[in-house]
Amino acid sequence: MDAFQIHGPAVISGETHAAGSKNSALPILAGSLLTEEEVLLENVPDLRDIRTMLKLLGILGRRSERQGPDVILKAGKISWTDAPYELVSTMRASISVLGPLVAREHGAKVSLPGGCAIGPRPIDLHLKGLEALGVNIETHHGDVSATTEGLKGARINLGGPFGSSVLATDNVMMAATLAEGVTTIECAAREPEVVDACNFLLAMGAKIEGVGSGVLKITGVPNLHGCRYRIIPDRIETGTLLAAAACTGGSIFVKGARADHLERVLELYRQAGCELTINEDGIGLSVKGRLKNVETETLPYPGFPTDMQPQLMAMMALAEGISVITEKIYPDRFIHVQEFARMGADIHMEGASAVVCGVQKLEGAPVMASDLRAGAALVIAALAAEGESLVRRIYHVDRGYEKLEDKLEALGASIKRVKE
């Protein structure tokens, strides 16, 4: 099993680039099942989850070819409608194939998905939405079996106890593009990744109104065609790289990053004392002196994203004063707190809030990634810590960051991948 060996403290400075968005690319890849024609996707990150999705599409009959940052999904019919446990269990986004499969083939069987251990993430909203379109759902032995005699448009509310669901919005929307009549999705997720999926479907000939709003109106069409489409830059990777520079007192410029997708994150970075430079080429950040404390809560877009919560905590572990970070999306997403404590961070929990008392320094230590974003946050903390750290279970990190160690090393980090 691989680990990151990191010697700190480092100063992360220089110029880098934002890769394509993982959370956009995964459902968009699944959406390619909606057409028999060839689809060319640009700016697709080369990640473990992406490779898993391409394997899954291959089993279903959608052959692919990677050419650098681009992926060509070959023309062809769907040859299989069962998504096996061996692939689905490692990646939550695999449930995204359910909507396209029932839309095209009127039936599918998908194993209940896996992914990061960040608390309960049921797929009830996916199933609720598909049932409203006329899909018969049965769940047994860990599989979801879905059949329909034909999808029909409906009015569907996808609001959940912790807000709207990005993947459920994608899944239901993709199915609705080939349904008879008009589908209205209320409480639709508004994240940039959902907008990206909408724009991809529009490029394929779908009819969607209200893109970027909480209400989507989809008028079904008989079929969709192939297209060429470019994936948006990854806002979470961008926020992570900016956090690494902020935590280490560096200066960084992330080419291709979109500030309009990170408004709440950048607002908090400013409050923490970071100086930001924003232009059409990307986002720059620099820090002079110690970071300042902030208070925030995770919320659906355009609020502060839950996927940036651990990285912000790494910053606040070294900030002046007391910070409070409240998790309102996944209240159990705090396993990384005990790992930060191993490095000397002063953090205690009060319900769904982490109270972070900034310390003068962190110390290198062996730590373990519990999930994708927690792993990235531990890497950030290790960069700022004094001495050697070993970040274990980095297969989590590999699911969402393309060659993270190479990017950080080019920016001044002493980091290498080692075998344990």
22-230 folds as UDP-n-acetylglucosamine1-carboxyvinyl-transferase; Chain (3.65.10)
> Where do the domains of the chain lie?
2-18+233-419, 22-230
387-392 vs 163-164, strand pairing mode: unpaired
- Cα–Cα distance between 35 and 222 in angstroms, integer? 11
- Cα–Cα distance between 355 and 348 in angstroms, integer? 5
Give the closest residue to 354 by CA, choosing from 273, 315, 297, 290.
297
Q: What is the DSSP track for 337-398?
A: HHHHHHTT-EEEEETTEEEEE--S--B--EEE--SHHHHHHHHHHHHHSBEEEEEE-THHHH
Identify the pLDDT of residue 162.
67
Give the closest residue to 360 by CA, choosing from 412, 318, 308.
318
- In the numeric block, the tokens 């572990």 are attached to 317
- Separation of first and last alpha carbons in the chain: 6
- In the numeric block, the tokens 């109104």 are attached to 209
Domain 2-18+233-419 matching CATH 3.65.10.10: the answer reads: yes
Residue 390 near residue 371 (C-beta atoms within 8 A): no
* The token pair that represents 15 in the structure block: 């110029």
pLDDT in tens for each of the 420 residues of the chain? 899 999 999 999 999 999 999 999 999 999 999 999 999 999 999 999 999 999 999 999 999 999 999 999 999 999 988 888 888 877 878 899 999 999 999 999 998 775 444 444 478 899 999 999 999 999 888 888 999 999 999 999 998 776 788 999 999 999 999 999 999 999 999 999 999 999 999 999 999 999 999 999 999 999 999 999 999 999 999 999 999 999 999 999 999 999 999 999 999 999 999 999 999 999 999 999 999 999 999 999 999 999 999 999 999 999 999 999 999 998 889 999 999 999 999 999 999 999 999 999 999 999 999 999 999 999 999 999 999 999 999 999 999 999 999 999 999 999 999 998
What letters, b where the CB count within 10 A reaches 16 and e where it falls short, cover 263-294? ebbbebbeebbbeeeeeeebbbbbbeeebbbb
**Entry pTM:** 0.95
Question: Are domains 2-18+233-419 and 22-230 of this chain identical in fold?
Answer: yes
Question: Which residue type does 72 have?
Answer: I
> Which ranges of 256-365 does DSSP label H, i.e. alpha helix?
263-271, 309-316, 336-342
Residue 32 near residue 383 (C-beta atoms within 8 A): no
Q: Which of the following is catalytic: 116, 198, 247, 274?
A: 116
> In the annotation, is 116 catalytic?
yes
